[in-house]
Amino acid sequence: GIPSVAVYTDPDRYALHVKRADESYNVGSDPLAGYLNPRQLVNLAVETGCDALHPGYGFLSENAELAKICAERGIKFIGPAADVITRMGDKTEARRSMIAAGVPVTPGTEGNLADLDEALREAERVGYPVMLKATSGGGGRGIRRCNNREELESAYPRVISEATKAFGSAEVFLEKCIIEPRHIEVQILADHHGSVVHLYERDCSIQRRNQKLIELAPSPQLSDEQRDYIGQLAVRVARECGYVNAGTVEFLVTPETGEYFFIECNPRIQVEHTVTEQI
């Protein structure tokens, strides 16, 4: 019974969501320009009388400015607050928050690297192999495994360049590379009254070029005790950052020792949420 307003660009004019919505509006011919203009989208929401705005799982879904503009214009943003998006989107800031909360993180730099010399020093301290990562990275971009000093020297300018082009930021950090871990992500859901639950885990260890290919739920690699523990860790992460709405907390689990390492929190719904819905 709630009327819905959809936006679309020219390539999506025949998309199913355009047909199903009560109202639909064209926001341009170019998807990037149309879907990445937060002020235009919020203005349209206000003009059409919307109470709330759902950002989906791409484009502006992790954009703190969109959440901020929604708050300024009296539109309910269906997602976490702008400051939470900012903190979770910055991977080094997220690492610091988790360390303070007692959540285990992969050994690495506390903040961003100043230059290649610092990267080489930190790699010696942490021990090779290491992962060089863009602070604002995601989607398998801005990340390189370095097995020795020579590979790090070669990868550093490449990651800087890739991060700048893809995310508009040249900031990078370094962490220990966990060899052949299980990649486990936990779906969380939190409300405005302080309630946080986890909806169990998905195993996304099957990947190609740092991109997830197959997600399994529940994970065949976890015992009931491990499943309960990693779920509670995810809830602790959500409570620590004041999370509201749906989100995903991602961990690496070592196969031999069963250690858990927080790697990031995605402050949005993911395409993989349908896997969780099935269970």
CA atoms within 13 A on the CB side of 25: 13
Spatial separation of the C-alpha atoms in residues 201 and 185, rounded to whole Å = 6
Q: What count of Cα atoms within 13 Å lies in the side-chain half-sphere of residue 185?
A: 26
pLDDT (0 to 100) of residue 51: 97
Cα–Cα distance, 276 to 157 (Å, whole number): 38
Number of H helices, E strands in the chain: 10, 12
**pLDDT digits 0-9 by tens, 136-162:** 776 677 899 999 999 999 999 999 998
Residue 89 has pLDDT above 90, yes or no: no
Q: Please give the mean pLDDT across all residues of the chain.
A: 92
Nearest residue to 137 via CA among 109, 168, 116, 113 = 168
Q: What is the pTM of this model?
A: 0.83
Contact 55, 36 (CB under 8 A): no
Interstrand relation of 5-8 and 23-26 (parallel, antiparallel or unpaired)? parallel
Average of per-residue pLDDT across 244-273: 90
Q: Write down the residue that tokens 């896997």 correspond to.
A: 275
Q: What is the pLDDT of residue 94?
A: 83
Q: With 70 as the cut, is the pLDDT of residue 195 above it?
A: yes
CA gap 63, 185 in Å, rounded: 21
The pLDDT assigned to 139 comes to 66
Task: Return the active site residues.
Answer: 268
| Whole-Å CA distances, 10 to 43, 48, 260 | 20, 20, 45
Q: What whole-number distance in Å separates Cα of residue 57 and Cα of residue 55?
A: 7
* CA dist., res. 39 & res. 74, Å (int): 13
pLDDT tens per residue, range 161-184? 988 887 778 889 999 999 889 999
